[in-house]
C-alpha cells in the first residue's frame, strides 16, 4: 500500500472502505481518473416504499401541495381545526427531503467511485440550492440528480445552463417571481424584476464577486432571466426537468450585459449564460474554489493559475479540470492540510467501520443512516442546507473551532462503542489509514485501554480528522 494510494483515497475520495487503499495503491491517479469516466452514480432510495422523483414530477407535486395548502387554510378560516391534516401535509414534505438525503448519505458510505462523489458534492455546493429556503426544499435532491450528477465530466457551460433552468434554482433564488416590467405579463400585472438569481449567477456561480460586473449588469442579467419558470402545464406534455420558458414574461428588446448586446428571448439569455461560463473571471473563480476545496485553504497562486489555464484552454471541461487537480505538485503532498467537513467526517467514519451494518433488518439500516444525518447536523453541516447561496464554507477553519473539535472527538468515542468485540483494531487502522498513519497514532492505538478506545483514537487522530 503506497502513500499516494492512501492520499488518493482520503484527499480525493471519501475515506477508506475495506481494501480501498490497497486497490488505489495499484495506480492512484488512474484509480481516481477511472471514476470520472462516466456520469456520477445516482442514489437509490433507502426506504423501499419511497422514490426519488424527477424535477417535473416534483413540479406536479408542488402544485398539488399548494392547492391542498390553500384548501387547508380556507378550512381553518372557516373554523375547522385541521390540525392533523396540516401536520400530515407538512410531514409528507419533510419525509421527501429526508428520503432524498438518506439516499445521498447511503451512496457516500458505499460508493466505489468516491472521487466522482466528491466532485458531485463540490458542484452541488457551488450552486448553493438549499432547503433553508422551504420553497425549493423538495427539489434539492432532484437538482443534484439531474443537474450535477450527469455533468461532472462535461463542460461547465452545460452544468450552469442546466442549473439556472432547474426548478430548484428557479424557486431557490426567486426567479419564478421575476417578470420583465415591459413584458406582456409585466404590463398587465405591474409586477417587475427580482434580481436574486441574476446577481448570484454572476457573483457566486460564474464571475465571482470581483469578476467585473456592475449593478447595471445585475439588472440586465435579471431581465435576461425573465420568462424562465416552472412547467405548470400539467394538462399537456411536460418537460423532463420541469423547466419552461414563458415568452410573455420576458423583458422585450435587446439587453446589454457587460458591454455586449443580447437579443431578447430564450436563445439570447442562453448565449449570455454561455459567455459567463467561458469568461476568464469565471475560470479564476472556479480555479480558486476547486483548489481551496481539495488542496489548501489558501492555495498557491501557481496552482490556481494552472487550473485556470486548463479551464480556459479546454473550454471549461470539468473532467480536464479534475485531472489537472491530480497533476498539481501539491496533489499528493504528504501533509494533510484540510480538515474534513462534518459530512466528510461522518462519511469517512461510516466507510472505515463499514456502516451501516446490514443485519437483515431494513429499518435498522435506515436508523443508522438517519443517525449519521443527525450527527452531521450536530457537527454543523448538512448537504444542500447551507444558510446562504454561497454554500457551505470550503475552508478548514469553519470546522476546527474549539467546540467543533471537542464534539467531533466526543462523537468518535460514541460511535466507537458500537464496534463488534471481535474487531481487529490494529488491522482496521492499518487498512483505514495506510501509510498516512503517524507513529504517535499507531502507538496510541496499540496502547489504548480498550478496543473501543483504540477506534475512538483512530477516528480522532489528525490523520483521520484531516485529508
Residue 230 sits at the vertex; the CA angle it makes with 123 and 175, to the nearest 5 degrees, is 65
Of the pair 127, 411, the CB lying nearest another protein is at: 411
Judged by CB under 8 A, the stretch of 129-137, 229-237, 382-390, 452-460 that binds another protein is 452-460
Cβ closest to another protein, residue 307 vs residue 457 = 457
Half-sphere exposure of 224 (CA within 13 A, CB side): 31
Find the binder of another protein among 267, 327, 418, 427 (CB under 8 A).
Answer: 418
**Taking the C-alpha atoms of 151, 155, 108 and 115 in order, what is their torsion angle to the nearest 10 degrees?**
140
428 binds another protein (CB under 8 A): no
CA distances from 336 to 111, 296, 326, 425, 438 (A): 23, 9, 15, 23, 12
When asked if residue 421 is in the footprint of another protein (CB under 8 A), the reply is yes
Query: How far does the chain reach from its first CA to its final CA, in angstroms?
Result: 17
Residue number with CB closer to another protein (283 or 348): 348
Provide the 3-class DSSP secondary structure of residue 276: helix
Task: State yes or no: residue 296 binds another protein (CB under 8 A).
Answer: no
Which of 111, 125, 155, 441 is close enough to bind another protein by CB under 8 A? 441
Q: How far is the CA of 323 from the CAs of 16, 35, 49, 71, 458, in angstroms?
A: 21, 11, 39, 53, 31
438 grid coordinates: 503517524
Q: Quick one: which segment of 2-10, 67-75, 237-245, 436-444 binds another protein (CB under 8 A)?
A: 436-444
C-alpha–C-alpha distance, residues 91 and 467, integer Å: 37
- When the beta carbons of 329 and 374 are compared against another protein, the nearer one is 374
Binding mask 381-410 for another protein (x = CB under 8 A): ---------------xx--xxxxxxxx-xx
| Of the residues 155, 292, 368, 376, which one makes contact with another protein according to CB under 8 A | 368
Q: Which is nearer to another protein, 16 or 379 (CB)?
A: 379
**Complex with another protein: residue 225 or 456, whichever CB lies closer:** 456
Nearer to another protein, 285 or 451 (CB): 451
Residue 400 CB-density burial (10 A; 0-12 exposed, 13-18 middle, 19+ buried): middle
Start-end of H helices in 328-361: 342-352
Q: Which residues are at the interface with another protein (CB under 8 A)?
A: 339, 357, 359, 361, 363-364, 367-368, 371, 374, 396-397, 400-407, 409-411, 413-414, 417-422, 425, 440-441, 444, 446-454, 456-457, 460-462, 465-466
Amino acid at each position: 500500500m503506497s502513500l499516494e494510494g492512501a492520499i488518493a483515497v482520503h484527499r480525493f475520495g471519501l475515506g477508506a472502505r475495506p481494501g480501498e487503499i490497497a486497490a488505489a495503491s495499484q495506480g492512484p491517479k488512474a484509480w481516481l481518473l477511472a471514476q470520472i469516466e462516466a456520469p456520477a452514480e445516482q442514489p437509490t432510495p433507502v426506504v423501499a416504499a419511497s422514490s426519488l422523483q424527477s424535477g417535473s414530477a416534483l413540479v406536479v407535486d408542488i402544485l398539488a401541495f399548494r392547492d391542498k395548502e390553500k384548501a387547508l387554510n380556507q378550512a381553518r378560516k372557516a373554523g375547522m381545526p385541521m390540525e392533523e391534516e396540516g401536520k400530515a401535509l407538512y410531514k409528507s414534505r419533510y419525509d421527501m427531503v429526508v428520503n432524498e438525503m438518506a439516499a445521498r448519505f447511503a451512496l457516500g458510505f458505499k460508493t466505489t467511485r468516491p472521487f466522482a462523489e466528491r466532485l458531485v458534492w463540490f458542484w452541488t455546493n457551488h450552486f448553493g440550492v438549499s432547503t433553508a429556503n422551504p420553497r425549493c426544499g423538495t427539489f434539492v435532491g432532484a437538482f443534484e440528480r439531474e443537474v450535477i450528477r450527469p455533468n461532472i465530466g462535461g463542460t461547465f457551460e452545460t452544468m450552469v445552463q442546466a442549473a439556472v433552468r432547474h426548478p430548484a434554482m428557479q424557486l431557490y433564488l426567486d426567479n419564478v417571481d421575476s417578470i420583465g416590467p415591459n413584458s406582456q405579463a409585466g404590463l398587465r400585472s405591474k409586477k417587475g424584476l427580482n434580481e436574486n438569481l441574476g446577481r448570484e449567477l454572476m457573483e457566486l456561480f460564474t464571475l465571482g464577486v470581483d469578476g467585473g460586473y456592475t449593478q447595471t449588469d445585475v439588472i440586465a442579467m435579471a431581465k435576461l432571466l425573465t420568462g424562465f419558470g416552472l412547467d405548470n402545464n400539467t394538462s399537456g406534455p411536460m418537460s423532463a426537468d420541469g423547466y419552461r420558458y414563458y415568452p410573455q414574461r420576458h423583458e422585450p428588446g435587446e439587453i446589454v450585459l457587460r458591454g455586449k448586446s443580447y437579443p431578447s428571448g430564450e436563445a439570447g439569455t442562453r448565449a449570455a449564460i454561455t459567455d459567463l461560463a467561458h469568461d476568464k473571471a469565471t475560470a479564476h473563480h472556479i480555479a480558486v474554489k476547486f483548489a481551496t476545496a481539495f488542496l489548501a485553504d489558501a492555495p498557491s497562486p501557481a496552482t490556481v493559475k494552472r487550473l485556470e489555464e486548463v479551464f480556459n484552454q479546454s473550454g471549461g471541461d470539468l473532467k480536464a479540470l479534475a485531472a489537472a487537480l491530480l497533476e498539481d505538485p501539491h496533489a499528493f503532498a504528504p501533509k494533510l492540510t484540510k480538515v474534513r467537513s462534518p459530512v466528510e467526517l461522518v462519511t469517512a467514519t461510516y466507510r472505515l467501520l463499514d456502516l451501516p451494518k446490514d443485519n437483515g433488518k431494513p429499518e435498522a439500516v435506515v436508523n443508522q443512516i438517519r443517525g449519521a444525518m443527525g450527527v452531521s447536523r450536530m457537527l454543523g453541516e448538512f448537504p444542500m442546507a447551507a444558510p446562504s447561496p454561497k454554500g457551505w464554507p470550503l475552508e478548514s477553519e469553519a470546522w476546527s473551532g474549539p467546540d467543533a473539535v471537542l464534539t467531533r472527538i466526543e462523537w468518535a468515542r460514541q460511535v466507537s462503542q458500537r464496534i463488534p468485540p471481535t474487531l481487529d483494531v490494529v488491522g482496521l487502522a492499518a487498512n483505514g489509514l495506510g501509510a498516512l498513519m503517524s507513529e504517535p497514532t499507531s502507538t496510541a492505538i496499540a496502547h489504548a485501554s480498550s478496543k473501543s478506545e483504540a477506534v475512538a483514537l483512530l477516528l480522532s487522530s489528525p490523520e483521520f480528522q484531516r485529508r
